[in-house]
Copies of this chain bind each other. A is one copy, B any other.
Amino acid sequence: MLNRVRSAVAHLVSPGGAPHARPKSPELPAETTAPPAAVAEAPRSPSARTTSGSGAPAKTGETRASFSRPTFLQLSPGGLRRADDHAGRAVQSPPDTGRRLPWSTGYAEVINAGKSRHNEDQACCEVVYVEGRRSLAGVPKEPRRGQGLCFYYWGLFDGHAGGGAAEMASRLLHRHIREQLKDLVEILQDPSPPPLCLSSTPGTPASCDPAQLVAPQSCCSPQKEVTHESLVVGAIENAFQLMDEQMARERHGHQVEGGCCALVAVYLLGKVYVANAGDSRAIIVRNGEILPMSREFTPETERRRLQLLGFLKPELLGSEFTHLEFPRRVQPKELGQRMLYRDQNMTGWAYKKIELEDLRFPLVCGEGKKARVMATIGVTRGLGDHNLKVCSSTLPIKPFLSCFPVQVYDLTQYEHCPDDVLILGTDGLWDVTNDREVAATVDKVLSAYEPNDPSRYTALAQALVLGARGTPRDRGWRLPNNKLGSGDDISVFVIPLGGPGSYS
């Protein structure tokens, strides 16, 4: 995904973001997550382990300049070197002999063809236990075992301008989600509607006991119904935001270079939540039918949001950019002529007389994979990028990057068969294939395996990665139709919707 960022000049400046209404990040537990099994030192910038800066509660725990692959690949140092080989581009999956991924998940990845030094994709697949918070008012925790919740978690992180942000997110984002869910452990397990207000008086050890909550029916003013599902969506949304804020705080100490797209699936209490910030993609293939589970966020799909922001906050554009879009760059000799344009309100085009400020570079330009914000970045949502500046300028890009929506899929509403799967893939997959072709591969590969063969989902993930990578020929990596294969990092999760119990 490096070529999506033309410039990532990492000036060390303070973040320019506006204040957030979001609640403060609760302190993440001090214990570190299991360190990646295979970590190689990158030769460029070995840095000492650093402590968190002031106001930085979470411990990242690792040296950020190291290169690593997901723990679950169980790579030896030699295996890690092979995974890092741009020439061979061997497809990596968890070993058949080792512990399988949770939920019988299939996974495969391959490094890029040389566009960046290392594989800048990262992945995480975990079962996470959430202990309820005994108190909601800040008094010490007294965990009550056995009343917690478990969620399954899959994350794909596609880094750009360095692998640091993707690596950090792969280690920490699920812990932010766990923190956000802690307040909800009892509420989510209570079938009655969630309380709108929690009656925790500061200084008093209030309890999350439903009997002590202000129940909705006790309020006299009209009120909205809030579902359990929307609380989980809110928790994931806030976790993304807090992950991003942690990257902003710790970027000096930990060299969290660049940024990353994040595509996450969470299974909790019968439902799958898919959250996407960036241009990775999730689809469900169910009985041959395709259900999109994410939308891509690019300068083209988000043009009007970006233009509106530039229009409302012209200081973000400096004197270098215009929020208007033109079908091509305006030339000085065209001053006074009439050119097609569109603004933040328009989906169509109209002619306008070219004025001096129209000669500025457009905030959004280019088409397809070449579309860019401020001539710099090709995705408009993601984590990190706090240091990203416009090339040869001090203008920050970050204010234009945003968060993400969550889509929910209710697993209990449909009788799933073993061939129904949720596919998560980075853009390395989707750049050279489409939903329909992926669905055809799902059918072809899974039908070649017994329904209870646990290796079938890894085989499918490998087939998808191989199909997008192609084979080396005279002129680069080629697909069977002789078109160019993806030269990008490619990572794929295959999650069987029949659930983890059906397979052994």
Contact = CB atoms under 8 A, between A and B. Distances in A.
12 contacts: A23-B351, A180-B350, A196-B339, A198-B337, A198-B339, A224-B328, A226-B349, A232-B348, A234-B350, A237-B345, A312-B313, A348-B406
A34 interface: no
A327 B22 contact: no
Interface in A84-143: 136
Given A324-B21, A334-B197, A230 B313 contact: no
Nearest to A240: B345
Contacts of A458: none
A339 B197 contact: yes
A235 interface: yes
Interface stretch (A215-223, A251-259, A479-487): A215-223
A185 interface: no
A444 interface: no
Nearest to A183: B351
Chain copies in complex: 2
A233 B337 contact: no
Contacts of A198: 337-339, 351
Interface in A182-210: 183, 194, 196-202
Contacts of A340: 194, 196-197, 226, 231
Taking residues whose C-beta sits less than 8 angstroms from the other chain, chain A's interface range is 35 or more
A18 B314 CA distance: 11
Contacts of A197: 334, 337-340, 354
A343 B199 CA distance: 22
Given A22-B352, A194-B349, 9 more contacts: A18-B311, A23-B351, A23-B352, A136-B338, A197-B354, A201-B337, A222-B328, A234-B348, A234-B350
A329 B202 contact: no
A367 interface: yes
A241 interface: yes
A222 B349 CA distance: 17
Contact of A22 (B231, B236, B336, B343): B343
Which of A136, A219, A339, A345 neighbours the largest number of chain B CB atoms within 10 Å of its CB?
A345
A400 B458 CA distance: 50
B347 A406 contact: yes
- Counting from the closest, the 8 A-B pairs by CB-CB distance are A233-B348, A234-B348, A223-B328, A234-B350, A224-B327, A198-B338, A230-B348, A197-B339
A295 B309 CA distance: 23
Interface string A5-29: 0000000000000101111000000
A416 interface: no
A342 to B, nearest CB: 7
A342 B312 contact: no
A323 B20 CA distance: 12
A347 B200 contact: no
A455 interface: no
Contacts of A402: 345
A337 B199 contact: yes
A366 interface: yes
A43 B351 CA distance: 45
Contacts of A238: 346, 350
B347 A237 contact: yes
Given A231-B348, A324-B21, A312 B309 contact: yes
A49 interface: no
Nearest to A203: B336
Interface string A318-333: 0000011011110000
Which of A202, A327, A348 neighbours the largest number of chain B CB atoms within 10 Å of its CB?
A348
A403 interface: yes
A405 interface: yes
A208 to B, nearest CB: 10
A350 B198 CA distance: 11
Contacts of A342: 234
A346 B337 CA distance: 43
Nearest to A238: B350
Which of A229, A237, A346, A350 neighbours the largest number of chain B CB atoms within 10 Å of its CB?
A350
